[in-house]
Structure 1
């Protein structure tokens, strides 16, 4: 008996059994555990990775300066559709001119500059200019519609907004004019908007003369040598602990929350991500499929390339798999970034086109990479290594990531190893650490956790407790070797093709439909996208169709949030307290 108990304990079986019985109200097993076994055998789900290199105390602006000095003539970005190529030296020069032009029209360090645009070279330069000028860059999803944009601008007090005139079906100037009819009668920089009172300057990435706006190129031309010298001389006075970015992320309430990221967090997180992605081993051309506005774009893409001197190849302003294949072939890309959905699309097109390509590394994030997709990426795209990244905006970008020599299991069944200089633990509903091998909510602590949500102390306190542990809302399990596995999501978030979608916002929109009595939104499995948005509704008029729903949501929600599946129900499963049981709703749809 003693040998059996000892074997069970050494292999974590007994401790796990004790844990679950304790949760069921069996305290005598806790006494048994304490009597039979000493504390030294107690293994909790806790990991600490101290790293092998120290953190660097520098700003994004000084990082760009260092990289421009080191890799002066190396191409920093190739924007294929815009037919533009810029070296790191040219990026620094253009960034300082844009920063000086913004200073010339009245912006000062600390002002919030919103960028509402797809993957244009001007997006990239605005990122760098804000870092050099001390402005706080506010990343806004280019698919956002009027009410979504209005909320973001007002939430953080955006003073200057930069956007194109149009892109695809999105007319940015028209949306701005709808929100601020005063724009048409305002001089550039003189906007006084009733609905967005903080917004004074609108800059359009366009050659069109649009009333009330500056042209992007004119702002660059406003730079004088004296103001450029001021921008350059203030670099040493900027503190790395100052805010650099504000990125929006939604919560289960449906209202976007504004995550503050510092220069220190951005420069260091992107440095260590780049090392894991092997950008430090040689020069790489990186095919960029992910949007710049997302943490995958700003940190994993732009930040890593700036740290390690990689060249970003932007196939097109918006994601198009055929143009990605063209870019990989023509620019000899050795690394590619994307979500699993993007890789599925790329594989489909490559099977038809059979281009002569050979990728060394594919970095996948946003959702898990299946073993089948892993093999397809290797066999069809010629990828030598597939690497996973896992993280969240509140932790700057990445907290778990593949190591250099990971095998297929680590790349497909785990999210990788904990990032350098971070701690991670798993807790139960009561906030207690769970035993190794048991599922629990992932909490992380370290340099990269956000300063907080902008102007939202309550939500910040809910996110980060007194001991500085950030609660991710994701359910994890740890392996003994330090790798992490996602078990599920504690939150109701839907991940559709790498886009994070929160049901409450869609439900609020659907509940305003005159023929809908009650609406609840869930994610349903989808082969290509991972999950798809399904609206479950009780209706007054049973003739309502998915097409009706989609037309109603158009212009109110970003396109990726609009439901693509509809289920009409007679009632919703509820708890005794009246809360909707969404898992039961999902199960009922499967049956």
Structure 2
């Protein structure tokens, strides 16, 4: 997943005010695009569970999480006790250090407790998109050998328990030993979450605290799935150390260390924005997380901001568009908001202004990062002005090296585009059980190749120009065309499919499928494609637009020229958009 900042490449960045301490930024003596931010503070050599304990001791009575939909709230001391109860419950199930435990759910209190219990018990947290359908879930569980999974029984149309039982009954996930369902019902072949929480004795709970010193910060704690160009998700392994220090650094950039913050959390918890930018930020700095609803609902978010007196809002640009639209409709009397933090996609200058105007926000802040870099590489500085925000993805993170290279791997001059490469504590350990894919992106010198085309400036700021890969970013969700293309090509009437991102004001990009049919007499409509995808692809991957074509633009050597699709098929696409 990419965490993108604000606006486009702009040479005005070269003249913008230098905001950082110059003595911690190092660059080449030449004009090559290389920078190293040494950082202003030392690292924290702690695991995630130790950070929780430290914060609970420092702020025992401060609220750690409030779930508005569930009408629950926990202080940090209550959180620590509940987390250790669940961690002890995991141990009583026979789970051992290093075992993988999946969380497959929208935003509930148990997501937060489970994630931290996994940390305190020395297990590995496998974050799963709650929109996954059976084939996607099956692949991920088998890929990393998940031994236990925690999920709700059902959420909206997604029948989590039913899907899991389908896998269990087919014996298609040999590693999966425990299905834990957050439900009051006693369900066949599943354990109730509350029962696992309550099986441990007080002595078992005490043992969890003793376990912390044996959990090395350097070990893997979190596995994040990130799709590759082949369409099959890769499993990026991230360490306790990277999550702890990224969370601390990002929280400091958002000034969580300077004041008590109550954060309205609109983004889902399952990916980097939720786990690192949200949970780890709050955990490091004693901030309170407010979950308005399990799934983003702008009206409930506005109400939560008022009822819980939030002073920070987290969300993707798409979410902020919806919040502004709902605020214009309801005209809620919002409190003063210190910061609106945006990540997941490009945020336009007009949206920055609308966020400030309509949501009563003082500062808008942005982040650029990737799943493989534990979320943040560039992020706004506390005193950045709107002009900086509108023309950059932020300033290089602490303890980070970056360079921009040409096709031969040589650094280009500052201000020139090339591929962004990153080196530092935050890069992934590796892709789980995938040596070849790891070697493709992470060299022996530990430089990580992002595949993103960037421009780097001497003053520490940067901007994304384009993507070397063909990834579509729809409302903060990363979508790789190849997966959808391969799936649609299994349709009996489809001969060839190519999927591209279609510019969209609200979502950033929408999924457009350009299709050649096996027989011209056949007919395949958008509705046909959607029905074919339902239950087999996540909802955000299902094409919004379908265009039937006879031929695709190609090079002389026969290669498809995707970048020409929107122009070549302009009329057909306009008809598809109008009929949508």
TM-score by length of 1: 0.90
* 1:135 pairs with one of 104, 110, 123: 123
Mapped partners of 2:512, 2:394: distance in 1 = 31
Per-residue deviation, residues 204-229 of structure 1 (Å, max 9, x unmatched): 01011210000000001111122212
Which residue in the other structure is 1:509 paired with? Answer: 487
User: Which of the pair has the greater relative contact order for Cα pairs under 8 Å at 6+ separation?
Assistant: 2
For 2:139, the equivalent position in structure 1 comes to: 151
Match of 2:399 in 1: 421
- Following the alignment from structure 1 to structure 2, what is the Cα–Cα distance between the partners of residues 198 and 516? 36
String of CA shifts for 1:222-258, please: whole Å, max 9, x gaps: 1112221221111112110011100101011100000
- 1:481-520 aligned at under 5 Å gives the runs 481-520=459-498
By how many angstroms is 1:368 displaced? 1.6
* Structure 2 residue 510 is matched with structure 1 residue 532: yes
CA distance in 2, matches of 1:427, 1:275: 30
Please give the alpha-carbon distance, in whole angstroms, between the structure 1 residues aligned to 2:475 and 2:162: 28
1:571 to 523, 546, 551: 551
2:61 to 66, 70, 73: 73
Per-residue CA deviation, residues 238-279 of structure 1 (Å, 9 max, x unaligned), is 110011100101011100000101100000000000000111
How far, CA to CA, are the matches of 2:413 and 2:364 in structure 1?
30
State the distance in 2 between where 1:301 and 1:236 align. 25
Unpaired segments ≥5 residues, structure 1: 1-10, 12-39, 183-192
Counterpart CA distance in 1 for 2:114 and 2:30 is: 51
Deviations 1:417-448 (A, max 9, x none): 00000000001111111111110111010010
Counterpart Cα distance in 1 of 2:107 and 2:347: 24
Deviation of 1:100 (Å): 0.4
Pair 1:473-2:479 in alignment: no
CA 1:448–1:41 in 2, change beyond 3 Å: closer, same or farther?
A: closer
Other-structure match for 1:31: none
Whole-angstrom CA distance in 2 between matches of 1:556 and 1:336: 33
Structure 2 residue 437 is matched with structure 1 residue 449 = no
Structure 2 equivalent of residue 216 of structure 1: 193
Where do 1:155-304 residues align within 5 Å?
A: 155-181=143-169, 193=171, 195-304=172-281
Q: 2 CA distance for matches of 1:543 and 1:459?
A: 39
Structure 1 SS opposite 2:94: coil
Larger-gyration structure (1/2): 1
What residue is the counterpart of 2:567 in the other structure?
587
* Structure-2 separation of matches of 1:469 and 1:520: 32
3-state SS, counterpart of residue 248 of structure 2: helix
Q: Give, in angstroms, the shift of residue 578 of structure 1.
A: 3.2
The answer to whether the Cα contact below 8 Å between 1:50 and 1:421 also exists between their aligned partners in 2 is: yes
State whether residues 449 and 470 of structure 1, in contact with CA within 8 Å, keep that contact through their aligned partners in structure 2.
yes
Aligned partners of 1:180 and 1:98: how far apart in 2?
23
Change (3 A) 1:41 1:95: closer
Distance in 2 between residues matched to 1:444 and 1:51, nearest whole Å: 15
Residue 542 of structure 1: CA displacement?
Answer: 4.3
2:529 equivalent among 539, 549, 565 = 549
> Which one is further off, 64-73 or 542-551?
542-551
| Partner of residue 340, structure 1 | 317
CA contact (8 A) 1:96 1:228 kept: yes
> The residue matched to 2:513 in structure 1 has which SS?
strand
Alpha carbon RMSD of aligned pairs, Å?
A: 1.2
C-alpha distance in 1 between matches for 2:58 and 2:327: 37
Corresponding residue SS for 2:187? coil
| Aligned partner of residue 166 in structure 1, secondary structure | coil
Match of 1:50 in 2: 38
2:221 is paired with a residue whose SS is: strand
1:87 and 1:589 map into 2 onto residues whose CA distance is: 56
Supply the distance in 1 between the matched residues of 2:527 and 2:35 (Cα, whole angstroms): 49
Alignment partners' CA distance in 2, 1:350 and 1:273: 28
* Number of residues of Structure 1 aligned to a counterpart in Structure 2: 542
Measured after TM superposition, the shift of residue 42 of structure 1 is 3.3
3-state SS of paired residue (2:337): coil
Contact 1:439 1:476 in 2 (8 A): yes
Structure 2: distance between partners of 1:138 and 1:589 = 41
In the other structure, the counterpart of 2:23 is none
Contact 1:509 1:556 in 2 (8 A): no
For residue 118 of structure 1, report the CA deviation from its aligned partner: 0.5
CA distance in 2, matches of 1:303, 1:456: 27
Q: Are 2:362 and 1:388 equivalent residues in the alignment?
A: no
Q: Which residue is equivalent to 2:25? A: none
Q: Which runs of 5+ in 2 are unaligned?
A: 1-10, 12-27, 572-580
For residues 338 and 227 of structure 2, the distance between their equivalents in structure 1, rounded to whole angstroms, comes to: 34
d(CA) in 2 for partners of 1:578 and 1:156? 38
- Aligned equivalents of 1:42 and 1:98: distance in 2? 55
Residue 543 of structure 1, CA deviation:
2.4
